[in-house]
Chain A
Amino acid sequence: MISNESIPTLNTMFRFQWEQAQNSYVLLYPEGMIQLNGPAGEILALVDGEKPVAGIVADLKGKFGDVDGLESDVLEFLAEAHKQRWIEISRSNVG
C-alpha cells in the first residue's frame, strides 16, 4: 500500500525525460517508450527518491492550485506506476 509517507523512486530499468517531439514526458526502456499523459508526467517529474508522496502532492498544489481530489489521484497513479514497475516504494522513518 502506498501512503502519504511512502517515498517513490524511479526503477533503474527506466529513464524518464521530457521529449520535445512527443510534447510530453516519456519513460524509456530497452527498445521501447511509454508516453505519459500530462498529469502522469507531472507526478513522475517530482519522483526523486527523496520526496515522500505528501511532498509531491504539496508541490503539485503549489504549481496547479488546490485541485479537488488531487491527493487521491496522485495515490492512485503511483499505485498503478508501482504495479507497472515504473517506480519502487520505500517508507520514510517519519510516520
Chain B
Amino acid sequence: MSSSSCNGSPSLNSVPTHGQPLWLLAELTYKCPLQCPYCANPLDFANRNTELTTEEWIKVFEEGRKLGAVQLGFSGGEPLVRQDLVTLISEARRLGYYTNLITSGVGLNERKVAEFRDAGLDHIQVSFQAADESVNNMLAGSQKAFNQKLKMAREVKAQGYPMVLNFVTHRHNIDQIDRIIELCIELEADYVELATCQYYGWAYENRENLLPTRAQLERAERITNEYREKLAAEGNPIKLIFVTPDYYEERPKGCMNGWGQVFLTVTPDGTALPCHSAKMLPIEFPNVRDNSLDHIWNESFGFNHFRGYEWMKEPCRSCDDKEKDFGGCRCQAYMMTGDATNADPVCSKSEHHHLITDARAEAEQPLDSSKMLYRNERNSRVFFSSSEFE
C-alpha cells in the first residue's frame, strides 16, 4: 500500500466528515512489570524509539483539548513507570480533561494515590488477571501481583475515587466469573469491566490458549445477567459491563465507533493512531513530534484512510449494515486475511468467515498444554529481529 504525506493534497476535498477526538488515549510507556499473555500491546513493543518527554506530552494534551477531547486515559504498558505521571495528571486536569488512570496497580502505593488525587486525577481503573490468587499470579507472571492489586483497590476506594475494575476474560478464568463478580462487590467497585479478551497483539499469538468455548461464554453471560438482576433488586449501584465476544457473533463490532471518529491514541514514541492496534497496518501514521494534532486528526493520510465508505470492497460496499458496523475492525481484517480493506472475518458474509469458525472449533479441543507466550522484552525482541528483514 502506498502512503504519502498529504499537505494540501487536493483529494482532501472529498474526505468524508468526521467528529471530534473526544477520547484521547495516552500510552505513556510500553515498560511494564507484568507479562500478561493476553496483552493487546504490539508484539514488537521493545523495538520502539524513545518515549515522548513531559513537555511533548503536555503539548499533545493542549492540542487535543483544542480539538474537543474531554476524556484522557493514561495507559501503556504500565503508566506508573513514568516518573512524571503526577505532573502529566495535573497539567491534564488544568486543561479540563476528565483524567483516567488505567493501571495494573503494580507500582502504586498509598502516597501516590493521594498525590494523584491532589493533582486532580478523577478516576482509577485497576486490572486483575483472575479472582484467584494463584491463577492471577500465574497469568501476570508475578507472585506478588494479586495481593498488591487487592491492597490498591481498597486504597483507591478509601481515598474516594470512582473505581473501575477490569478483568480480561478467557478460558482460564471465565468459569470463575461468579467469584470475579463477588470480589468486585467486596471491593466496592463502581464499574466492572468483564472484558472478553480481544485477539490483538500477544493475545492473538496466544489465541489457542485463550479463546473460550461457546458454552463457557454463554454460561458466563447468563451468570452475569443473574447478578445484574440480584444487584439491582438489592439497590446496589455497581455496574457490570460484559464486553461482547466478537468471535461468537455473526456480525462484526462497529470498531472504535468508526475509524477516526471519536478515538485518538498516541503511543509512547508519539505515533498517533485511530486505535491502539492500528500500528500493525501497512499504512504510514503521523507522529506528534512532526505534526500538530489538528493536522493529524483532520488531514493526515493515516486518519483519513478508512473514513467513509469509499475504500470498501464487496460484500461491505453494497451492504446495508455498513453504516452500523463500518465493515468491522480493519486490524482484524488485515491480521486474518492479509488485506485491511476486506470485511472483518467475524461477518458471516465474509469469504474468510471460516477463519473464525475454525478458531471456534479449535476452542472445543482440549488444550495440548502448549505453553503461553509471555509479554516481556525478551520475547518481544524475537518479533522485531525477524520483521527487520521483511
Asked if A and B bind, the verdict is: yes
B100/A28 in contact, CB under 8 A:
no
A interface footprint on B1-29 (CB within 8 Å = 1, 0 otherwise)? 00000000000000000001011000000
Contact of B190 among A15, A21, A30 (CB under 8 A): A30
A21/B162 in contact, CB under 8 A:
no
Known contacts A30-B162, A31-B73, A31-B164; A17 and B96 CB within 8 A of each other: yes
Q: Is A13 an interface residue (CB 8 A)?
A: yes
Which B186-244 residues have a C-beta within 8 angstroms of A? Answer: 190-191, 237
| A85 to B98 CA separation, bound complex (whole angstroms) | 19
Q: Is A66 an interface residue (CB 8 A)?
A: no
A29/B73 in contact, CB under 8 A:
no
Q: Is B122 an interface residue (CB 8 A)?
A: yes
A13/B70 in contact, CB under 8 A:
no
- Contacting residues, chain B, for A30 (C-beta < 8 A): 100, 122-123, 125, 162, 164, 190-191
Nearest Cβ on chain B to A81's Cβ, whole angstroms = 14
Q: Is A92 an interface residue (CB 8 A)?
A: no
| A21 to B98 CA separation, bound complex (whole angstroms) | 14
Contact of A31 among B68, B71, B96, B237 (CB under 8 A): B71
- The number of residues on chain A lying at the interface, defined by a beta carbon within 8 Å of a beta carbon of chain B, is 15
Nearest Cβ on chain B to A3's Cβ, whole angstroms = 22
A15/B160 in contact, CB under 8 A:
no
- Contacting residues, chain B, for A17 (C-beta < 8 A): 96
- Contacting residues, chain B, for A32 (C-beta < 8 A): 71
| A30 to B100 CA separation, bound complex (whole angstroms) | 7
B71/A19 in contact, CB under 8 A:
no
- In the complex, the chain A residue whose C-beta lies closest to that of B71 is A31
- Contacting residues, chain B, for A29 (C-beta < 8 A): 98, 123, 162
Q: Is A44 an interface residue (CB 8 A)?
A: no
- Contacting residues, chain B, for A33 (C-beta < 8 A): 22, 70-71, 98
| A38 to B241 CA separation, bound complex (whole angstroms) | 30
Q: Is A56 an interface residue (CB 8 A)?
A: no
- In the complex, the chain A residue whose C-beta lies closest to that of B97 is A28
| A65 to B162 CA separation, bound complex (whole angstroms) | 38
Nearest Cβ on chain A to B389's Cβ, whole angstroms = 40
A13/B190 in contact, CB under 8 A:
yes
Known contacts A28-B98, A28-B122, A31-B73; A13 and B162 CB within 8 A of each other: yes
- Contacting residues, chain A, for B22 (C-beta < 8 A): 33
A19/B162 in contact, CB under 8 A:
no
| A19 to B73 CA separation, bound complex (whole angstroms) | 18
- Contacting residues, chain A, for B162 (C-beta < 8 A): 12-13, 29-30
- Contacting residues, chain B, for A31 (C-beta < 8 A): 23, 71, 73, 100, 123, 164
Q: Is A74 an interface residue (CB 8 A)?
A: no
Q: Is A26 an interface residue (CB 8 A)?
A: yes
A21/B68 in contact, CB under 8 A:
yes
Of listed A22, A29, A32, residue having the most chain B CB within 10 A: A29
B98/A15 in contact, CB under 8 A:
yes
- Contacting residues, chain A, for B191 (C-beta < 8 A): 30
B70/A21 in contact, CB under 8 A:
yes
Known contacts A26-B70, A33-B71; A15 and B122 CB within 8 A of each other: yes
Can you list 18 A-B contacts with CB-CB less than 8 angstroms, sorted by A residue number?
A12-B162, A13-B162, A13-B190, A17-B96, A21-B68, A28-B71, A28-B98, A28-B122, A29-B98, A29-B162, A30-B100, A30-B125, A30-B162, A31-B23, A31-B71, A31-B100, A32-B71, A33-B70
Given contacts A30-B122, A30-B164, 8 further A-B contacts (CB under 8 A): A21-B70, A28-B98, A30-B100, A31-B71, A31-B100, A31-B123, A32-B71, A85-B237
